[in-house]
Amino acid sequence: MSDLPTKQDQVYADPRAQIDAFAFDARVAAVFDDMIRRSVPGYGMTLSLLGIIAQHYAKPHTRIYDLGCSLGAGTLAMGAKLDTPDVTFVGVDNSTAMLDRCRPNLAPIADRHSLELLCQKIQDTPIENASIVVLNFTLQFIPQAERLALLQRIHAGLAPGGILVLSEKIQFDDPHIQTDLTTLHHDFKRANGYSDLEIAQKRSSLENVLIPETIPAHEARLKEAGFARDEIWLQIFNFASFLAFK
């Protein structure tokens, strides 16, 4: 995906005596594209359709924010589809390792669009005159107590008619549904070459780092943040993406 080589994810392939908390460090950044595509069902489809969503909702003379942009895949997917004039893309991530790899990834759209990359917490990022804000599997890593304030700031920074794309791992109140979809998710990862050891060790590393919530919890928070309505436009197993409208 970039001039920097992307390797196969083997971060959790060897047994570990101690499982440290998951972090978006240099080791993860080097394999992240492979990791997320083999771990998140429908990730490639999400990116492809994100480009179509951007074509529909991007407005001239506005900004498009990719919050938690990682390697820039979301920004690239949107920028490659857009001919909207005078749109500025703003990618934000607090991992320098991710942004070091993100910059060359965005070269294909750099001559067509204005690009800004910011290394900072998304909670500290001003949102201004945005037609689109994307949170692609990012909110789940933000402390729960800080999520509402973030969504309120996003809503306030959206231009009239602006949208938020919120993609998340989700959980379910019904224990049968939760068990079934977790099992299918693990089967998906096995089908993509992950061993039971890798699945178990990564799951342990994400405990208390990635905190998923239910669909009703997300919808209630979006409403409290001021969004007029929301809808789920894509769900595969225990991963879903919302469109929220100002």
Question: Hey, what domains does the chain have and what are their CATH numbers?
Answer: 43-171+210-245 (3.40.50.150)
Average pLDDT in the chain: 95
- pLDDT tens, 169-224? 999 999 999 999 999 999 999 999 999 999 999 999 999 899 999 999 999 999 99
pLDDT of 231 reads 98
Mean pLDDT of the 222-238 span? 98
Give yes or no for residue 5 having a pLDDT over 70. Answer: no
Q: Which pLDDT does position 29 carry in this prediction?
A: 93
Give yes or no for residue 6 having a pLDDT over 90: no
Residue 132 has pLDDT above 60, yes or no: yes
pLDDT at 175: 97
CB atoms within 10 A of CB 88: 15
pLDDT, mean of residues 63-78: 98
pLDDT at 16: 86
pLDDT value at 4 more than 60:
no
Q: How confident is the model at residue 85 (pLDDT cuts 50, 70, 90)?
A: confident
Model pTM?
0.94
Residue 39 confidence (pLDDT) above 70: yes
